[in-house]
Amino acid sequence: MSQLRFKVVDEAFNRKAEPVEMPKERPEVYYGKYVFNRQKMFEYLPADTYKALINAIDNKEPLPMEVADSVAEGMKRWAIDNGARHYTHWFQPLTESTAEKHDAFVEHDGKGGVVEKFTGKLLVQQEPDASSFPNGGIRNTFEARGYSAWDISSPAFIMGNTLCIPTIFISYTGESLDYKTPLLRALNSVDKAATGVARYFDDKVTHVTSYLGWEQEYFLVDEALYNARPDLMLTGRTLMGHESAKNQQLEDHYFGAIPSRVEAFMLDLELEAHRLGIPAKTRHNEVAPNQFELAPIYEECNLANDHNQLLMTVMAEVARRHHFRVLLHEKPFAGINGSGKHNNWSLGTDTGTLLFAPGKTDKDNLRFVTFVVNVMAAVHKHNALLKASIMSATNAHRLGANEAPPAIISIFTGSQLAEILDMIENSTSAELANLDSREGLDLKVAQIPQLKLDNTDRNRTSPFAFTGNRFEFRAVGSSANCGAAMIVLNAAVAEQLADFKTKVDARLEAGENLNHALLEEIRALIKQSKAIHFDGNGYSDEWKEEAARRGLDCETSVPLIFDAYMKPSTAEMFKKTNVLSEVELAARNEVKWEMYTKKVQIEARVLGDLAINHVIPVALRYQSILLDNIVRVKSIFDGEKATEFSADDIANVEKLAKHMKVIKDEVAAMVDARRVANKIDSEREKAIAYHDTVVPHMDIIRYHIDKLELMIDNEMWPLPKYRELLFIR
Q: Which residues bind ligand ADP (CB under 6 A)?
A: 211, 213, 215, 282, 295-298, 344-346, 354, 469-470
Residue 389 or 467: the one with the smaller Cβ distance to Mg ion is 467
Please choose which of Mg ion, ligand ADP, none residue 195 contacts, taking the beta carbon within 5 to 8 angstroms, the exact cut-off set by kind: none
Question: What is the sign of the dihedral through the CA atoms of 392, 394, 399 and 405?
Answer: negative
Please choose which of Mg ion, ligand ADP, none residue 213 contacts, taking the beta carbon within 5 to 8 angstroms, the exact cut-off set by kind: ligand ADP
DSSP string covering 508-570, please? HHTT--HHHHHHHHHHHHHHHTGGGB--S-TTSHHHHHHHHHTT------HHHHGGGGGSHHH
Residue 68 CB, nearest distance to ligand ADP (Å)?
32
Residue 342 or 614: the one with the smaller Cβ distance to Mg ion is 342
Residue 100 and residue 162 in contact, taking contact as beta carbons nearer than 8 Å: yes
Residue 457 CB, nearest distance to ligand ADP (Å)?
13
> Any contact of residue 275 with Mg ion (CB under 5 A)?
no
How far is 32 from 37, CA to CA, in rounded Å? 7
Residue 342 or 544: the one with the smaller Cβ distance to Mg ion is 342
Residue 467 or 589: the one with the smaller Cβ distance to ligand ADP is 467
Residue 54 and residue 42 in contact, taking contact as beta carbons nearer than 8 Å: no
Work out the angle between the directed axes of helices 180-198 and 482-509 (0-180°, nearest 10). 30
Residue 410 CB, nearest distance to Mg ion (Å)?
17
Chain center to CA of 156: 23
Residue 118 and residue 85 in contact, taking contact as beta carbons nearer than 8 Å: no
Please choose which of Mg ion, ligand ADP, none residue 131 contacts, taking the beta carbon within 5 to 8 angstroms, the exact cut-off set by kind: none
Site string for Mg ion, 573-612 (x = CB under 5 A): ----------------------------------------
Pick the piece of the chain touching Mg ion (CB under 5 A) from 339-347, 348-356, 567-575, 661-669.
339-347
- Of the candidates 523, 492, 207, the one whose C-alpha atom is nearest the C-alpha of residue 373 is 523
Residue 215 CB, nearest distance to ligand ADP (Å)?
5
Please choose which of ligand ADP, Mg ion, none residue 470 contacts, taking the beta carbon within 5 to 8 angstroms, the exact cut-off set by kind: ligand ADP
Residue 356 CB, nearest distance to ligand ADP (Å)?
7
Cβ-Cβ contacts under 8 Å for 165 (sequence gap 6 or more): 87, 88, 89, 90, 123, 150, 156
Residue 296 or 414: the one with the smaller Cβ distance to ligand ADP is 296
Residue 284 CB, nearest distance to ligand ADP (Å)?
8
Residue 217 or 590: the one with the smaller Cβ distance to Mg ion is 217
Residue 269 or 396: the one with the smaller Cβ distance to ligand ADP is 269
Residue type, 708: L
- Of the candidates 38, 134, 128, 47, the one whose C-alpha atom is nearest the C-alpha of residue 87 is 128
| Nearest residue relative to Mg ion (C-beta) | 342
Residue 345 or 371: the one with the smaller Cβ distance to ligand ADP is 345
Residue 354 or 711: the one with the smaller Cβ distance to ligand ADP is 354
Residue 183 CB, nearest distance to ligand ADP (Å)?
16
DSSP assignment letter at 428: -
Please choose which of Mg ion, ligand ADP, none residue 354 contacts, taking the beta carbon within 5 to 8 angstroms, the exact cut-off set by kind: ligand ADP
Phi-psi region of 324 (alpha: psi -120 to 50; beta: other; left: phi over 0): beta
Please choose which of Mg ion, ligand ADP, none residue 588 contacts, taking the beta carbon within 5 to 8 angstroms, the exact cut-off set by kind: none
- Of the candidates 387, 421, 392, 398, the one whose C-alpha atom is nearest the C-alpha of residue 547 is 387
Residue 304 CB, nearest distance to ligand ADP (Å)?
8
Residue 52 CB, nearest distance to Mg ion (Å)?
40
How far is 187 from 305, CA to CA, in rounded Å? 12
Residue 462 CB, nearest distance to Mg ion (Å)?
11
Residue 27 CB, nearest distance to ligand ADP (Å)?
17
How far is 446 from 440, CA to CA, in rounded Å? 9
Residue 124 or 301: the one with the smaller Cβ distance to Mg ion is 301
How far is 574 from 566, CA to CA, in rounded Å? 11
How far is 552 from 533, CA to CA, in rounded Å? 11
- Of the candidates 486, 491, 496, 493, the one whose C-alpha atom is nearest the C-alpha of residue 212 is 486
Residue 470 or 674: the one with the smaller Cβ distance to ligand ADP is 470
| Nearest residue relative to ligand ADP (C-beta) | 213
Please choose which of Mg ion, ligand ADP, none residue 296 contacts, taking the beta carbon within 5 to 8 angstroms, the exact cut-off set by kind: ligand ADP
**Total residues in contact with Mg ion, by rule CB under 5 A:** 1
Out of 342, 444, 588, 684, which residue is the one contacting Mg ion (CB under 5 A)? 342
Q: Taking the CB of residue 121, how many other CB atoms lie within 10 A of it?
A: 12
Residue 65 or 297: the one with the smaller Cβ distance to ligand ADP is 297
How far is 377 from 382, CA to CA, in rounded Å? 9
Question: What is the sign of the dihedral through the CA atoms of 9, 10, 13 and 15?
Answer: negative
Residue 273 CB, nearest distance to ligand ADP (Å)?
13
Residues lying near Mg ion in the complex (CB under 5 A): 342
